Amino acid sequence: MAAQFYAEPLENLIGILQRYGFTRIQAEIFIHLTKFGPSSVGTLARALKTNRMNVFRNIKKMESIGLVEATLGRPIKYAAVPIDKALNTIISAAKNVVSEMESRFPTVIETFSKVLQQQPSEQSFYVRFRVHSGRRNIYTVMARMLENSRREVLLLTTPNDLICLSFFGLEDILKGCRGRGVEVKILTNVAGEKIANLLMGYIKDAVVRHADFQIKTRMLIVDERETLTSLMVEDSMDLESQADSGFWNDSPQYAQSLKTFFDFIWNHSSDLPVLLQYLSTGSMPEKTVTFNDPNEYVRYFMQMIGRAGGEVLIIANTLGDIPMLEDFIRFAERARSQGVNVRVITCLGEDFSGDNEIFGVAEVRHSDIKCNFDMVVVDRRENLLRFPFTFEEAGVSLTQCLWSNNATFSQFLSEMFMELWAKAVDSSIRLMELKFRRAVKELPTVLKPLAEGHGWTLEMPAKMEGASKLKHMFDLALKYNGSPRQVVVGDVFTGVGDIRLASIAIHIKAQDVKASRKFILSPKVDWLGAEDRDLIKSYGIDLIEGLETEEISNKIMDIIKRQ
């Protein structure tokens, strides 16, 4: 009886939705998504006992109407919009039946309440996204976002887009924002005095600033919770343009990333009234230029090197990230001959061969610190930054570049560079370390047959149990196969860390496993101070230095032969 009571209102609800234009399968999909939350096409097909293609065709149609929304993830799931929003969407799209829909609206809400009780709160945790096409559609979404704002609105766009938005009624919408106490910031690229005057109407209800970015981009961030992004704006002032498109989503993480980018440019921009004053007097203030064209980055980079008068500071993840490296080396060579000091911080990885002409024209240091950007600062007065800007879930990825002649910011970057420089390792030491690591890695190939020829077995690395029953790790160990039992153990010291702690550690471990000899391998013994060498000697530890596999192997064999 209870099942029958439940089925009847459910069938009634399906019938009502069908009168609103749903097909039966669409009504079933919508009810299922509302009741059980976001679901994949496969889940829906199994629940409704139909094939995936049927569900896919219908759900894509429902998405295009605005009845369901795709959520980010794998697989893509679909969520039903709230029932009142769905009905309003249909009402707006079907003017000819609006009176009938409005009359049935309370009935539908009441029926949903009885059947479904309440919608699952988990739906709010899913990130939604939509792609909108056509300028009017985009402006409508922007207007809705602004009207729902409560705290902060950040807008970055072109002057033409701002003028076109004024035709759409943006100034009245911003007035409403100001009335609610919403802080509105607008960033744009003002090309001249005429444009600046046209945009002055916005300053009554918003703070408008100029930044010299060259890309035609639209970026709207509302309350750090939803965004609309157009990576390339069709920059006409045609309100009916269909070439415009925008990407909307409600990911807080994405909104925060965009806000960080916006705030960076904002902090190095000029107020519109101040800019207008500069333009009227014929001079230009300090500025920040943003762009994402790799060729533009190369052009700025080379021009900056050419303008250098005293100092060039570069951070690059790898030497290969320095644009046009061969040309840069020639530029750097010329700059150095004119007294310019070129310094580079980079990561010289394990696979770096050490064969590069840059070491002859620049001071290079190695750092393991992974920077998410490349940087150039020239004479502490201009800087160039390049960093990735990625939203993986939506497949959006681009390289963002910024150039600025802001003296304060350039000074800050220079000081940051010098702090990293003080902690970085000189390239000659790093190259020696890399050569040493490769030599140690190849030790088994050379040392093993030598040791076996004298009755010893090589383990590399070695794990041994001591008298204390503790297990100790050594970088290598040699065990004599004859009698009496003998063990020689060794550890590798590359210059990273505390040699005193390393010495104490191998001494204690060697005692526990009753090793007859112990040694430390190092690229160069003269890296160590006199006190360090005295401490090592006092513990009876042999120091072996070398950069070639054969050299190191022979020195280890000399220790064995003295047993």
Q: How far is CA 401 from CA 88, 295, 298, 483, in A?
A: 43, 11, 11, 69
- The edge-to-edge listing of strands for the beta sheet with 542-545 is 456-459, 476-480, 487-492, 517-522, 542-545
**Is residue 48 within 8 Å of residue 55, measured between CB atoms?**
yes
Domain boundaries 434-561, corresponding CATH code: 3.40.1350.10
Could you report how far apart the first and last alpha carbons of the chain are, in Å?
94
C-alpha radius of gyration, the chain, whole number: 34
Q: Which of 28, 67, 17 is nearest to 50 (CA)?
A: 28
Q: 2-120, which class in CATH?
A: mainly alpha
Low-confidence stretches of the chain (pLDDT beneath 50): 1-6, 118-125, 394
Query: Would you identify the CATH topology of the domain 292-423?
Result: Endonuclease; Chain A (3.30.870)
pLDDT at 133: 86
Residues 6+ apart with CB under 8 A from 309: 340, 379
pLDDT at 395: 53
Write out the residue limits of the CATH 1.10.10.10 domain(s) in the chain: 2-120
Q: Which of 169, 265, 286 is nearest to 217 (CA)?
A: 265
CB count within 10 Å of CB 370 equals 7
C-alpha 227/C-alpha 396 separation (Å) is: 14
C-alpha 37/C-alpha 29 separation (Å) is: 11
For 462, the 3-state DSSP assignment is strand
The angle that helices 294-307 and 325-337 make with each other, rounded to 10 degrees, is 10
C-alpha 221/C-alpha 157 separation (Å) is: 12
CB count within 10 Å of CB 462 equals 18
Query: Would you identify the CATH topology of the domain 130-281?
Result: Endonuclease; Chain A (3.30.870)
Task: State the amino acid at position 161 in one-letter form.
Answer: D
For 484, the 3-state DSSP assignment is coil
C-alpha 83/C-alpha 303 separation (Å) is: 58
What is the enclosing helix (H) or strand (E) of 282?
Answer: none
**Is residue 397 within 8 Å of residue 390, measured between CB atoms?**
yes
**Is residue 113 within 8 Å of residue 106, measured between CB atoms?**
no
Write out the residue limits of the CATH 3.30.870.10 domain(s) in the chain: 130-281, 292-423
Write out the residue limits of the CATH 3.40.1350.10 domain(s) in the chain: 434-561
pLDDT at 3: 37
The fraction of the chain above a pLDDT of 70, given in percent, is 87
Alpha-helical (H) ranges within 218-312 are 252-266, 272-281, 294-307
Q: What is the pLDDT of residues 166-212, one digit of tens each?
A: 888 888 899 899 899 999 999 888 877 777 777 777 878 888 888 77
Q: What is the pLDDT of residues 75-130, one digit of tens each?
A: 888 999 888 888 777 777 666 555 565 666 777 666 666 655 544 444 444 668 78
